[in-house]
Amino acid sequence: MRFLLPLLPLLLSALTLGSVTACGPGDPAPELNGPVLLIVAQAPEPGEEAPDAEGLYVTYSIPTQDARTFTRQDLASLRWRQIESDFPAGSRARVFEGPRLSAVLAEAGVRPDTSVRLTGFDGYEAEIDARMIDRHEPILAMRADGRALATGGLGPLMLVWPRSNRGELADMEDDLWAWGVFAITPVAPDAASGTAGPDN
């Protein structure tokens, strides 16, 4: 045992480092929080660190200075809802899951009477009236039938409405079902009435 004594300080250092950095099976590693999936631009309650103004933020003129950012883990911690509905319209129904749009906006400090514009990766924009959000509680779906919505498909986030079980939404088309959503921007009161931007 005596020959181990000179190595004892090194062994103690290694054990101490391991106790600080190791993650057990139930401990989320820091990187599991993942990259930013969504920003709410011009947020009344912005995050501590705004994303850089580059890429699609610049292309689509989305301000990032006072943005509130959301990672997958952030969104998973909010109030979720399941909606069984068809997309595209007339196709088979699927079970979509994700946080309520209203919960995301509230987390960013956006007033309930504020209409918003959702922007997808392809530049498609859907302007949603605050009254529609309050009345129908759409979600930012992250899963469909238990599977994560893939980036490049409909994900990572898609606005989903309870079209299948709300009579007044029965004839709703797909214009306001924005997919590939990565940014939300508050708009001036009464500026939105449930309208969509350029076609996909």
Residue 71: give its domain's CATH number.
3.90.420.10
Residue 188 has pLDDT above 70, yes or no: yes
Residue 136, in any domain of the structure? yes
Count of other CB atoms within 10 angstroms of residue 53: 12
Containing domain of residue 90, as a range? 33-187
Residue 118, in any domain of the structure? yes
Residue 21 has pLDDT above 80, yes or no: no
Average pLDDT over residues 70-95: 95
Q: Provide the pLDDT confidence category of residue 196 given band limits of 50, 70 and 90.
A: low
Residue 97, in any domain of the structure? yes
Residue 138, in any domain of the structure? yes
Residue 132, in any domain of the structure? yes
Strand order in the sheet with 36-40: 68-71, 36-40, 181-186, 116-120, 125-128, 195-196
Residue 69 class from Cβ within 10 Å (0-12 exposed, 13-18 middle, 19+ buried)?
A: buried
Residue 21, in any domain of the structure? no
In total, how many domains does the chain have?
1
Residue 96 has pLDDT above 50, yes or no: yes
Residue 74, in any domain of the structure? yes
Q: Provide the pLDDT confidence category of residue 197 given band limits of 50, 70 and 90.
A: low
Q: What's the token pair of residue 127?
A: 């302007």
Q: What's the token pair of residue 162?
A: 């309870």
Given this model, what pLDDT does residue 195 score? 60
Residue 55 has pLDDT above 90, yes or no: yes
* Its pTM surpasses 0.85: no
